[in-house]
């Protein structure tokens, strides 16, 4: 395995554990990160179609401080590159999203998707093997029935623990455009998959058909003005979901109202300030991620420069707006030229919905405390992430004199970006994907 997992450490009051993948290939770039519902497992997907699952170390009396460490549990190839012969298009193996299902038995289940196909995987353990077959010998070859004179009862013998990943369902051929989101419903019987123009509803038991619940494709594609960028089910109400658009709007839909949810129940949009209008306004207002809070009361959205929190009962403006990297507003022209302006950053809540986290450039990531209104910039870097070291807050200087502990906005490395993050569902443990490196941070343990 090519993951080097170091002992827990972290930023500020957070201890970090980081796993580094020593690769140079583009296929090794991490494309999604997701904790399961208990936080004991952490799954990552990469551009090579691989899924790597980490398992949290169990606490021992001798090594209490090792409790936060995550070690590789299973690695498997989820998707392979394909070719659409009808459209003469290559289909990348890159894993766009991973979503866990709640654990019902000893096995774990997760959904993974590339641009076209969603797969349901079963991850299970095996530590026993059957021996003493009547019709087969020990090497598995069939025996001559004439040689069998006694009846044996097969027995289970202990063996080295083996973790197996098997595909249980393959949901294919339902999306014309690239899938950008999958979301498991709170009824745990259905899930939805969203592409640029359509959202489909699936039943976990039925792979050959899905139900189209949103379709924004115009009759004439020249009239296309916006695309779907993200979608998610409500955490508690199985009939409610939201989807965001490239125009910076969010639509909340109720599946009880009609079979095809083209007519939204609520429409969230912030009026644009005419004084801030520019050539880049439409691009930077495009929403790259949308997340319900765990309580289901709020929605969080991420656009290029900000994170916004919306109350479901107020559609005309967000209740909170956090500037992620406003110092880049003067750099939009160069960011447009190098295509960085089209980067899609994700955002996450902590378990109590009191803190928000999202990524930035130069391997920086930002945290915003909704109660105290304090924020901090931290860096996920191999250079300053020594085991059990406290990560210091970073500051970006815009013009003028630069202090010793500050970094100039002109010195930021835009090739180092944190697009994908995840937060443990109940503890202050976070996972941050920086290109082909995975960093895991946790609260400092005294």
Rounded Cα gap, residues 293 and 299, in angstroms: 6
| Structure tokens belonging to residue 160 | 């080295």
* Domain boundaries of the chain, sorted by first residue: 26-123+170-399+407-442
Closest alpha carbon to 18 in 2, 5, 32, 34: 5
State what percent of residues in the chain have pLDDT above 90.
65
Query: Which range (62-76, 129-143, 176-190, 396-410) has the least confidence?
Result: 62-76
| Structure tokens belonging to residue 272 | 């644009």
Based on its alpha-carbon atoms, the radius of gyration of the chain, rounded to whole angstroms, reads: 24
Mean pLDDT of 91-100: 95
Rounded Cα gap, residues 148 and 278, in angstroms: 85
Helices (H), 45-189: none
Residue 340 DSSP SS3:
helix
For residue 446, the model assigns a pLDDT of 44
Beta bridge partners of 21: 3
Rounded Cα gap, residues 249 and 270, in angstroms: 8
Residue 63 DSSP SS3:
coil
Q: Give the CA angle between residues 76, 416, 401 to the nearest 5°.
A: 160
Distance of CA 437 to the CA centre of its chain: 15
pTM: 0.87
Q: How confident is the model at residue 284 (pLDDT cuts 50, 70, 90)?
A: very high
Rounded Cα gap, residues 234 and 297, in angstroms: 9
For residue 63, the model assigns a pLDDT of 57
| Structure tokens belonging to residue 286 | 């495009």
Residue 145 DSSP SS3:
helix
For residues 245 and 251, the answer to whether their CB atoms sit within 8 Å is yes
For residue 85, the model assigns a pLDDT of 83
**Phi/psi at 303 (5° precision):** -110, -165
For residue 385, the model assigns a pLDDT of 62
Mean pLDDT of 296-304: 96
Tens of pLDDT along 157-184? 888 888 899 999 999 999 999 999 999 9
Rounded Cα gap, residues 14 and 444, in angstroms: 5
For residue 6, the model assigns a pLDDT of 36
**Phi/psi at 39 (5° precision):** 85, 0
For residues 235 and 243, the answer to whether their CB atoms sit within 8 Å is no
For residue 65, the model assigns a pLDDT of 53
Residue 64 predicted with pLDDT over 70: no
State what percent of residues in the chain have pLDDT above 70.
90
| Structure tokens belonging to residue 41 | 């497992």
Strand 364-369, strand 375-379: pairing: antiparallel
DSSP state of 270: P
Q: How confident is the model at residue 155 (pLDDT cuts 50, 70, 90)?
A: confident
Mean pLDDT of 281-309: 96
Tens of pLDDT along 210-235? 999 999 999 999 999 999 999 999 99
Q: Give the CA angle between residues 231, 346, 359 to the nearest 5°.
A: 170
For residue 161, the model assigns a pLDDT of 80
Strand 406-408, strand 395-397: pairing: parallel
Rounded Cα gap, residues 135 and 141, in angstroms: 8
Cβ neighbors of 284 (< 8 A, separation 6 or more) are 303, 304, 305, 332, 341
Residue 4 predicted with pLDDT over 70: no
Higher local confidence (pLDDT), 191 or 259: 191
Tens of pLDDT along 380-436? 887 766 666 777 888 988 876 777 778 888 889 999 999 999 999 999 999 999 988
Residue 443 predicted with pLDDT over 50: yes
Tens of pLDDT along 338-373? 999 999 999 999 999 999 999 999 999 999 999 999
Mean pLDDT of 132-148: 81
Tens of pLDDT along 9-35? 333 333 444 444 444 578 889 999 999
Closest alpha carbon to 188 in 100, 254, 124, 123: 100
Residue 249 predicted with pLDDT over 50: yes
Q: Which CATH superfamily is domain 26-123+170-399+407-442 in?
A: YVTN repeat-like/Quinoprotein amine dehydrogenase (2.130.10.10)
Q: How confident is the model at residue 8 (pLDDT cuts 50, 70, 90)?
A: very low
Average pLDDT, the chain: 87
In 10 A of CB 396, how many CB atoms?
Answer: 20
Residue 12, H or E segment: none
CA distances to 200, 349, 373, 442 from 429, in Å: 33, 12, 21, 4
Residue 282 DSSP SS3:
helix
């Amino acid at each position: 395995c090519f993951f080097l997992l170091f002992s827990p450490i972290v930023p500020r009051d957070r201890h970090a554990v980081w796993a580094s993948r020593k690769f140079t290939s583009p296929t090794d770039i991490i494309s999604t990160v997701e904790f399961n519902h208990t936080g004991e497992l952490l799954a990552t997907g990469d551009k090579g179609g691989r899924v790597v699952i980490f398992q949290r170390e169990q606490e021992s009396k001798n090594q209490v401080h090792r409790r936060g460490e995550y070690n590789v549990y299973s690695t498997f190839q989820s998707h392979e590159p394909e070719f659409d012969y009808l459209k003469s298009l290559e289909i990348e193996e890159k894993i766009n999203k991973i979503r866990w299902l709640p654990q019902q038995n000893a096995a774990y289940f997760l959904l993974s998707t590339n641009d076209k196909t969603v797969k349901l995987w079963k991850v299970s353990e095996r530590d026993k093997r059957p021996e003493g077959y009547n019709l087969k010998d020990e090497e598995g070859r069939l025996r001559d029935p004439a040689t069998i004179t006694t009846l044996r009862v097969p027995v289970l013998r202990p063996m080295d623990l083996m973790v197996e990943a098997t595909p249980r369902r393959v949901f294919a051929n339902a999306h014309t455009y690239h899938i950008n989101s999958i979301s498991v419903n709170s009824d745990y019987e259905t899930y939805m998959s969203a592409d640029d123009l359509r959202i489909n509803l699936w039943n976990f038991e039925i792979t050959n058909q899905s139900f189209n619940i949103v379709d924004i494709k115009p009759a004439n594609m020249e009239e296309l003005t916006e695309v779907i960028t993200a979608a998610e089910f409500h955490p508690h109400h199985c009939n409610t979901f939201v989807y965001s658009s490239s125009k910076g709007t969010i639509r909340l839909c109720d599946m009880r109202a009609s079979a095809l949810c083209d007519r939204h129940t609520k429409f969230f949009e912030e009026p644009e300030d005419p004084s801030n209008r520019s050539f880049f306004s439409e691009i930077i207002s495009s929403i790259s991620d949308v997340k319900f809070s765990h309580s289901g009361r709020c929605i969080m959205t991420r656009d290029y420069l900000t994170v916004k929190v919306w109350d479901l009962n107020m559609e005309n403006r967000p209740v909170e707006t956090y500037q992620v990297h406003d110092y880049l507003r003067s750099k939009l022209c160069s960011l447009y030229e190098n295509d960085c302006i089209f980067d899609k950053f994700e955002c996450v809540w902590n378990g109590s919905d009191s803190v928000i986290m999202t990524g930035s450039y130069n391997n920086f990531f930002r945290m915003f405390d909704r109660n105290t209104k304090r924020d901090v910039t931290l860096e996920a870097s191999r250079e300053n992430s020594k085991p059990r070291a406290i990560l210091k807050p970073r500051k970006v200087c815009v013009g003028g004199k630069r202090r010793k502990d500050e970094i100039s906005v002109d010195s930021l490395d835009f090739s180092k970006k944190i697009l994908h993050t995840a937060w443990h569902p109940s503890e202050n443990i976070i996972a941050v994907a920086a290109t082909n490196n995975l960093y895991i941070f946790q609260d400092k343990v005294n």
